[in-house]
Structure 1
Amino acid sequence: MLKLRKVGVTGRLASGKSLVCSVFKQHGAYVESADEVVHQLLTSDQKNIQRIISLLGQDVEENGRIDRIKVAEIVFSDKKKLSELEKILHPQVLDKLKQCYEKLQKQNEFSLYVVEAPLLFEAHWEGFFDTIITVVAHDELCKKRYEDTGHTDYLKRISRFMPVDEMIKKTDFIIKNNEAQKEVEKQTLDIINKL
C-alpha cells in the first residue's frame, strides 16, 4: 500500500499557489482546493446557507445559493463577521479534507494528496499536513497579479493573511515566485523529488 503524504500549499493572495499545485497535478498528485470546498459548502449545504444568512443577512442569498461576492463585501469590511464566518466554515472544510484523504488512502492510487489552502496557518490546519509549502512573491507583484484578474480589494483581503516571515517560520519548503513560470516549476519539481 502506498503511503499517502499530505502536502499543504499555502501563501498570500496571488502568490502562485495554483501554479505550484498544477505542477504537482501534472506529476501525478491528487490536488484539492480548500477554496473549492468552501464554494461547495456555500452552494449545496442548506444548513450552511441558513447559518450564513442568519449571520450576514438575507441579501447574501440568491436563488437558494450564497452570493460569494456579497459575502466578501461584508466580511472584508467587518472583521468580527469574517471571524464568525470562518468559525462556521473552517472546521467543515478540514472535515471534508480529512474525508477526501481517507477515501484516497483506501483507493491506493496516489502517493501525494496536495491541498491548496490560502489560510492554512490562519485556520490552524498545520497538524493535518505532513509537509507544508509556502509560496512567496514580492507584494507589489502579488497586487498586480490580483488586480489583473479584475479585483480591486487587494488591501482589504491581504490584511487577513499572516505576514510572510511568520509563514516561513512554520513551513517545510519555500517556493519563490518572483520570476518566470519555469523557475517555479523547477523549484516545485525539486520538492516533489524530495518527498
Structure 2
Amino acid sequence: MPKIGLTGNFGMGKSTVLRLFRKLGAHTFDCDNIVRNLLKNPGIIQQLSRMLGEEILLRRRGKSMINKKRMAEIIFSHPAKRKAVEKIIHPAVVQQIEAAESELVRKNPCPLIVFEVPLLFEAGLENRFDTIITVFTTRERSSKRLLEKGFTPEEIKNRMRAQMPVYRKKELSDFVIDNSGDLRTTELQVRKIVAALSSC
C-alpha cells in the first residue's frame, strides 16, 4: 500500500485535491484534522498555555479550550514560538499517521493511502512517505481564496513566510498538481497520478 504525502502552501487547494483522491478510491487523512483533535487534549492544552500564556485559552462550561485564532496570531508573528509549538505537535501527528496506517493495512488494504500534510517538508517528514505530491497555484489565486475565507492580508503574509517556498517543494516532489485551473483540469491530473501509482 503506497503511502502518499500530499502537501503545498497555504491556500493552494490541498483539501480539494485530497477530496479528489478520496473520490477515486484512496484512503485519505487530513493532518489538520489530527491537529484540531490534538488541541482538545488536556495535556497538549496545558503545555501550550504554559508556553504561550493563558491568553490562548477560552473557558467554556468550566473547561479550558485553545483559542486557535489567538494562538495562530502569536505563533505566525513569532517564529521561535512557532517552532517550539511544532516540537510539541509534530511528534504527536507522526504517531497518529503511523497508527492510522497500521490500522488500515490490518483491516482494509487499499491501493493508495493519502495524507494531507501542510508542513511535510518543514517538519522533516519526507522520508516517511513513499511518494510526495505538491499542489500549487499562483500567489494571486491563493491570496484571493484566503481573503474570501476571511484571512487578513497580514495573516496571509505571516503564514506564507512561515512555509518553504512552493517552487522548492515542487523540486523535491515526485508529482506536482497545478490547481490554477478549473476542478475538471485538476481532477484529470489526479486521475493520471492514481493510474501511475496503481500500476507500480
TM-score, normalised by the number of residues in structure 2: 0.93
The 5 Å alignment of 1:95-110 reads 95-110=95-110
- Which amino acid in structure 2 is aligned with residue 13 of structure 1? F
Cα displacement string for residues 85-108 of structure 1 (whole angstroms, at most 9, x for unaligned residues): 001101110111111101111013
| Distance in 2 between residues matched to 1:127 and 1:84, nearest whole Å | 22
Residue of structure 2 aligned with 1:189, choices 170, 188, 191: 191
SS at match of 1:104: helix
Distance in 1 (CA, whole Å) between partners of 2:128 and 2:160 is: 24
Offset at 1:59? 1.4
Instruction: Compute the displacement of 1:165 (Å).
Output: 2.0
Shift of residue 111, structure 1, vs aligned partner: 2.1
Q: How does 1:90-169 map to 2 (within 5 A)?
A: 90-152=90-152, 153-169=155-171
Q: CA deviation at 1:178?
A: 1.1
Superposed CA offset, 1:40-99 (max 9, x none): 0001x1111100000011111113211111100111111110010001101110111111
CA distance in 1 between partners of 2:183 and 2:115 (Å) = 20
1:175 is matched with which residue: 174, 177, 180? 177
Superposed CA offset, 1:156-184 (max 9, x none):
11111111221112100010111111100
- Consecutive aligned runs of 4 or more in structure 1 exceeding 3 Å deviation: none
Given residue 173 of structure 1, which amino acid in structure 2 is its aligned partner?
F
**TM-fit CA distance, 1:5:** 1.3
Residue identity in the other structure for 1:14: G
Q: Percent identity over the alignment? A: 36
Report SS of the residue matched to 1:28: coil
Matched, 1:17 2:24: no
Number of residue-to-residue matches in the alignment = 191
Correspondence for 2:55: 59
Distance 2:47 2:108 in 1: 36
Using the alignment, how far apart are the partners of 2:193 and 2:66 within structure 1? 38
* Alignment partner, residue 29 of structure 2: 32
For residue 69 of structure 1, give the secondary structure of its aligned residue in structure 2. Answer: helix
CA distance in 2, matches of 1:101, 1:33: 13
Selected match of 2:45 from 41, 44, 49: 49
- 2:10 aligned partner, one-letter code: L
Counterpart Cα distance in 2 of 1:165 and 1:69: 28
Q: CA RMSD in A?
A: 0.9
TM-score (norm 1): 0.95
For residue 39 of structure 2, give the secondary structure of its aligned residue in structure 1.
Answer: helix
Equivalent-residue separation in structure 1 for 2:126 and 2:80 (angstroms): 23
Task: Specify every segment of 5 or more residues in structure 1 that has no aligned partner in the other structure, as ranges.
Answer: none
* Deviation of 1:115 (Å): 0.7
Q: 1:127 is paired with a residue of what secondary structure?
A: helix
